Structures are given as C-alpha cells and as structure tokens.
Amino acid sequence: MSDVNPRLAVLASGTGTNLQALMDDPQVGPHIVVVVSDRPEAMALERARARGIEAVVCRPADHPDRASHDRALRDLLLERDVGYVALAGYMRIVGPELIAAFPNRILNLHPALLPAFPGMHAVEDALAWGVKVTGVTVHIVDEEVDHGPIVAQEPVRVREDDDVESLRGRIHEVEHRIFPRAVRALIEGRLKVEGRVVHVLEELEEREGG
Ligand code: GAR
C-alpha cells in the first residue's frame, strides 16, 4: 500500500507504557527495529531490550548544540533504514532536519485535546484550568510544537475528585488503545494528508476477513 518500508523507530523518554502497547500490538510490534531515548535511565529502553529490540541512547548533552543532536538522531535512524517514527512520550522538541528526513512519517502522542494544552505539562495544565473534558491526541509532527495535522482524538472526562495521577491513568488507558491503531495506519500507508486534514483509510478487506 505504501512505497515506504514499514521499519519503525520509537522514541521515548520515560516509563514507556505506550512503547509497550506498540510492541504488544501484533500488527505494529514486529516492525519496531529500534527504540531511542534521550535519557539513559528511561524504563522504555529496558522494555525494548526485554523484547530483543535494539535500544539506543542519544543524549543531547553529548552534542554541542540542538542541531547536531537532531542530526545524530536522524542519522542513526537512517542507518537502520527506518521508514517511520513514533514519539511515545518523547519529551523533547524534534528538530527540522529530522522532520525533513521523515515528511508526514512521524507521529506524536499528546495527553490533551490539541490545540488545547500543548507542551510538557498537558495533564497538569488541563486540571489547573478546570476543564471538564480533556483527552488524547495523535498527530503528525511538523515544524511547530504539538501543532501538526491530527490523526486521532478521544475525549476523557475530568472527575470532580481527579488529581494528576488519576487523570493521567485514564488518559493512559485511552492512549494504549488509540496510539497503536494510529501507528498501524501510518506504517500501512493509510494516512492521507490534505493540508491540516488527515484521512485514515480503512484497512484492507482481506485483513478484516482474515
Ligand atoms: C504519555 O501520556 C504521552 O502522551 C506523554 O507522555 C506520556 C508517556 O507515557 N507525552 C507528552 O506529554 C508529550 N508532550 P509512557 O512513557 O508511559 O508511554
């Protein structure tokens, strides 16, 4: 369906529960060839190793500036013949050279209904603002932070007694369901981008029947 190879890289900075959801998806997991983190202590790296997937650390501190870190990241993905990239809790801004190497082929997961609450503290910000509904967004990464065309969204209701932990827990449940589905559509070449609008094409009939 797509002329891009489906080899997938996952970038993650933290615990990696979303990486786990991707690895556990039978249509996505086998395509993950490398997991990269900016933090050597990220549990995501251990999860990758436990699955026999290459785990690589690419630390900003090891590079003189943001642009050279970005290039190093791009080069390590290109060396591994990666076709697509999933940001699963990657807490850094992805630079222009990496984005240019994977046009419309990088997906980000964000714990709010963009364009509300962009940035690194979306769950805290939503609670502090007092919204009654927040949610999850999966979007294509472009040059602006938390800005690219939206692939999938799902609301999560905020409860009266929610704190960051409880709300984050319910957001995670939604993420673990919708992120693998979106990444699967990406690597199967089923995302058609028209300006800001993304059409997610249906799966092939034979697969549904199979
Ligand atoms: C996820 O909730 C993801 O939406 C968020 O980090 C969490 C990672 O969880 N990403 C951002 O906030 C990006 N700005 P995980 O490590 O358990 O997958």
Closest ligand 1 atom number to CA of residue 17: 17
- The pLDDT, as a whole number, for residue 206 is 47
Which residues form the catalytic set?
110
Instruction: Measure the CA–CA gap between 113 and 128, rounded to whole angstroms.
Output: 15
In a domain, 37, yes or no: yes
pLDDT score for 4: 83
Give the nearest ligand 1 atom to 14 CA.
16
Residue 49 lies in a domain: yes
Threshold 0.85, pTM exceeds: yes
- Give the pair of three-digit tokens for residue 13: 């900075």
> How far is ligand 1, taken at its centre, from the CA of residue 46, in Å?
17
Q: How far is the CA of 207 from the centre of ligand 1 (A)?
A: 30
Cα(209) to centroid(ligand 1), Å: 34
Q: Whose CA is nearest to atom 8 of ligand 1?
A: 89
Q: Quick one: which atom of ligand 1 is closest to the CA of 12?
A: 16
Is 146 part of a structural domain of the chain? yes
**What is the Cα–Cα distance from 90 to 45, expressed in whole angstroms?**
12
Domain that residue 35 falls in: 8-209
Taking alpha carbons only, the member of 47, 51, 16 closest to residue 31 is 51
The reply to whether 111 falls in a domain is: yes
Query: How does 48-84 read in b/e, with b if 16+ C-beta sit within 10 Å?
Result: beeeebebbebeeeeeeeeeebbebbbeebeeeebbb
Which residue lies with its CA nearest to atom 12 of ligand 1?
A: 120
Q: Best mutation site among 10, 11, 13, 17 for ligand 1, i.e. most ligand atoms within 8 A of its Cβ?
A: 17
Could you tell me if residue 163 is inside a domain? yes
- In the block, which residue shows the tokens 């559509």? 185
Per the domain annotation, does 1 fall within a domain?
no
Contact 17, 169 (CB under 8 A): no
Ligand 1, atom 9, lies closest to the CA of 89
Pairing of strands 197-200, 191-194: antiparallel
In a domain, 3, yes or no: no
Do 176 and 88 touch, CB atoms closer than 8 A? no
Tokens of 84: 């697509």
Q: Give the CATH number of the domain where residue 204 resides.
A: 3.40.50.170
Q: What is the mean pLDDT of each run of 10 residues along the chain (210 residues)?
A: 86 98 98 98 98 98 96 98 98 96 98 98 98 98 97 98 98 98 98 97 64
What is the CA(204)–ligand 1 centre distance, in A?
Answer: 30
193 is a domain residue: yes
pLDDT of residue 17: 98
Q: What total number of domains does the chain contain?
A: 1
Q: Which atom of ligand 1 is nearest to the CA of 111?
A: 4
Protein residue whose Cα sits closest to atom 10 of ligand 1:
89
Q: Give distance in angstroms: CA of 110 to centre of ligand 1.
A: 7
Q: How far apart are CA 97 and CA 119, in angstroms?
A: 21
